[in-house]
Amino acid sequence: MPPTSSPLHNHLLAALSAETFGRLQPHLERSNLPLGKALYESGDTLRHVYFPTDAIVSLLYVMENGASAEISVVGNEGLVGIAVFMGGESTPSRAIVQSAGHAYRLPGQRLKDEFNRHGELMMLMLRYTQALITQMAQTAVCNRHHSIDQQLCRWLLLSLDRLPGDRLCMTQELIANMLGVRREGVTDAAGKLQRLGVIEYNRGHIRVLDRAHLEQLSCECYAVVRKETERLLPYLPQARPTV
């Protein structure tokens, strides 16, 4: 998959007016995000925000015993580091790269300066934050009430929405860590999807063969998150950059 070279491949940045984007552009730094890289740890003071272009970042809560569970995913629809403009400066979650790729890094102070103009970027960030909160809330409900099979389907669909193709590179062990379940449960769930012809899985490479069937097998949580995201961020389907 070719690297994504333009910050406009991030839909938040692409939604900004030329004037607003022009104030941020000189401070955007392209960053390589390898699989497993931690962008920040629990309690860290956030110095930068990241706008992914073709990478996916998972926000995880890590327990004292080392166990973890994913609370949300961020891809080219958003940014990592909302605590910067929300005023908290730090967060109890951990941000780790789930799917390798690239992002554009922006100093937190530059984002705050633009946010404090009380213009279009502020409104965009607030709407994005509401969409992210919806995803976090629905993930909590899903983890409590739905089967591992349904959780895996939801997770695959959310990941697909943030990637340009139908392939993901992710081991079953990492998926289990994201979902906060045992690896054996993910192995069984992935095996069922493969036997149904929904996915093809081989040595950490997942290819979705039948997305429509995958959506049928998923719980309601995926549809709730997608519908709310499209309502709050209606520019997403149109933000297909040509540069």
Q: Which CATH number do you get for residue 159?
A: 1.10.10.10
Confidence (pTM): 0.87
| Domain match, 18 and 91 both | yes
| Domain match, 16 and 102 both | yes
Q: Which pLDDT tens digit goes with each residue over 33-89?
A: 998 899 998 888 899 999 999 999 999 888 778 777 788 999 999 999 999 998 888
Pick the most confident of 163-167, 177-181, 210-214.
Answer: 210-214
Show the tokens assigned to 216. 């049928």
Domain ranges, residue 44: 7-143
Instruction: Say whether pLDDT at 184 is over 50.
Output: yes
Looking at the structure of the chain, the number of domains it has is 2
- Domain limit, last residue, from 143, 166, 191: 143
- Is residue 201 domain-resident? yes
- Is residue 196 domain-resident? yes
Q: Which pLDDT tens digit goes with each residue over 84-111?
A: 998 888 888 899 998 889 999 999 999 9
The H-or-E segment that residue 167 falls in is strand 167-169
Task: Give pLDDT, residue 242.
Answer: 36
| Domain match, 56 and 130 both | yes
Task: Give pLDDT, residue 173.
Answer: 75
Distance from C-alpha of 92 to C-alpha of 123, rounded to nearest angstrom: 25
| Domain match, 59 and 156 both | no
Task: Give pLDDT, residue 68.
Answer: 75
H-type alpha helices, the chain: 11-14, 18-24, 83-86, 108-115, 120-145, 148-160, 172-179, 183-195, 211-217, 220-232
Helix, strand, coil shares of the chain, percent, nearest 5, are 45, 20, 30
| Domain match, 70 and 129 both | yes
H-type alpha helices, 116-163: 120-145, 148-160
| Domain match, 133 and 195 both | no
Instruction: Say whether pLDDT at 2 is over 60.
Output: no
| Domain match, 77 and 178 both | no
Distance set, CA 80 to CA 40, 66, 83, 132, 201 (Å) = 10, 22, 9, 10, 29
| Domain match, 77 and 187 both | no
Q: Which of 116, 131, 117 is nearest to 11 (CA)?
A: 131
Task: Give pLDDT, residue 142.
Answer: 85
User: Which segment of 11-25, 114-128, 132-146 scores lowest on mean pLDDT?
Assistant: 132-146
| Domain match, 167 and 136 both | no
Instruction: Say whether pLDDT at 1 is over 60.
Output: no
- Domain limit, last residue, from 83, 113, 143: 143
| Domain match, 17 and 122 both | yes
- Is residue 153 domain-resident? yes
Mean pLDDT across 227-235: 85
| Domain match, 15 and 127 both | yes
Q: How confident is residue 236, by pLDDT bands cut at 50, 70 and 90?
A: low
Task: Give pLDDT, residue 96.
Answer: 92
Q: Which CATH number do you get for residue 136?
A: 2.60.120.10
- Is residue 194 domain-resident? yes
Distance set, CA 198 to CA 33, 74, 127, 171 (Å) = 29, 24, 33, 17
Distance from C-alpha of 170 to C-alpha of 56, rounded to nearest angstrom: 11
| Domain match, 69 and 176 both | no
- Is residue 239 domain-resident? no
Number of Cβ atoms within 10 Å of the Cβ of 223: 14
Q: Which pLDDT tens digit goes with each residue over 132-175?
A: 999 999 988 887 888 888 888 998 999 888 887 788 877 777 77
Beta strands at 38-40 and 68-74: parallel, antiparallel or unpaired: unpaired
- Is residue 14 domain-resident? yes
- Is residue 175 domain-resident? yes
